Amino acid sequence: GMMASDFEKMASGPSHKAPERGHRDDDFLERSFWSSVTINPPLYGADVAVSFFDERLDFGWNLRRLGCLLSQYDVPEIPGVTSPMAYFGTWKSFFGWHKEDIDLYSINYNHAGAAKIWYCVSPRDGHTFDRMARGLFPELHAACPAFVRHKDIMISPRLLRAAGVPFVQARQEPGEFIVLNAAAYHSGFNLGFNIAEAVNFALPEWLPVGRAALNCECSAMSDGVPTGVVRQAMLGMHFPRLVHVRSDWTLCNGRRRRGGWRLTTLRKRILM
């Protein structure tokens, strides 16, 4: 393992620092990211099962105590789903396009350090994104209909615009939350060393979304979340006063699988 202080020192080295020019210029940083993402593999300390929120904090959005349906019913402890995971980012470290497991809601908090850049597609435009992704990666779709859940593809904003996929872009500063609607596709990258954490949550509005979610069952996700366990615990419930899902939410959050990515094997899946 590695201490967080040692990770920060590595992240501050010349090969892992963001360009000095344009520190607040998102357009410049975005161009720098997409033009060099395959050149120097970034560092990313992802999926660390720890939270920096005080468990005793009983007001505000405490990611350890959201009090959602996942904590009220018989759902076992699943890091990242029922309890937060921390993420230590560096310049150019990224999370590939995906939706949350079983299309759950998610919330991300940037504790300290550099900002994050997010891209998100609203659930109402998910079919447009699906069609584009299938066209760009036909071999992956043939192997797994839910291949985007593998979190190993990156598609640039330029290609999204060319394909007519509506999306939003957000900059998350330290001290800010990003909330992801159920079934929203999202991806993003870090602008330097930062510390964030994220967790899923469920509301009554999510139940029909979760029932309809297309989940990956292939070997590529053998280390992923045991979605069947959550389904069994949650999706048999009945809420007679169910509210319609607010599909206009567009902010976003991401979680990554254990171990992160090796860019040497990802280059063919980064399209610009």
* Predicted model pTM: 0.82
Q: What is the mean pLDDT of the chain?
A: 81
The domains of the chain, with CATH numbers, are 4-271 (2.60.120.650)
In angstroms, what CA-CA distances link 97 with 3, 28, 151, 232? 29, 22, 6, 26
Question: Which of 67-71, 134-138, 206-210, 216-220 shows the lowest mean pLDDT across its residues?
Answer: 216-220
Q: What is the mean pLDDT of residues 153-163?
A: 95
Distance CA 127, CA 135 (A): 12
- pLDDT above 80 (res 133): yes
Distance CA 66, CA 212 (A): 24
- pLDDT above 70 (res 235): no
Residue 217 near residue 128 (C-beta atoms within 8 A):
no
- pLDDT above 60 (res 128): yes
Instruction: Considering only residues 62 and 244, tell me which one the structure prediction assigns the higher pLDDT.
Output: 62
Q: Which residues pair with 98 in a beta bridge?
A: 186
Q: What is the mean pLDDT of residues 142-146?
A: 94
Residue 35 near residue 85 (C-beta atoms within 8 A):
no
pLDDT at 215: 83
pLDDT in tens, 178-193: 999 999 999 999 999 9
- pLDDT above 80 (res 208): yes
pLDDT at 5: 80
Q: Which residues, including other chains, have CB under 8 Å from residue 11's CB and lie 6 or more apart?
A: 17, 43, 88, 89, 90, 91, 192, 193
pLDDT at 265: 33
pLDDT in tens, 258-269: 222 222 233 446
Question: Which of 54-68, 131-145, 204-218, 257-271 shows the lowest mean pLDDT across its residues?
Answer: 257-271
pLDDT at 19: 82
pLDDT at 247: 28
pLDDT in tens, 51-97: 999 988 887 889 999 988 888 877 888 899 999 999 999 999 999 99
Q: What angle do CA 49, 173, 46 make, to 5 degrees?
A: 25
Distance CA 192, CA 101 (A): 27
3-state secondary structure the chain: CCCHHHHHHHHCCHHHCCCCCCCCCHHHHHHHHHHHCCCCCCCCEEEECCCCCCCCCCCCCCCCCCCCHHHHCCCCCCECCCECEEEEECCCCEEEEECCHHHCEEEEEEEEECCEEEEEECHHHHHHHHHHHHHHCHHHHHHCCCHHHHCCCEECHHHHHHCCCCCEEEEECCCCEEEECCCCEEEEEECCCEEEEEEEECCHHHHHHHHHCCCCCCHHHCCCCCHHHHHHHHCCCCCCCCCCCCCCCCCCCCCCCCCCCCHHHHHHHEEC
pLDDT at 17: 80
Radius of gyration of the CA atoms of the chain, in A? 18
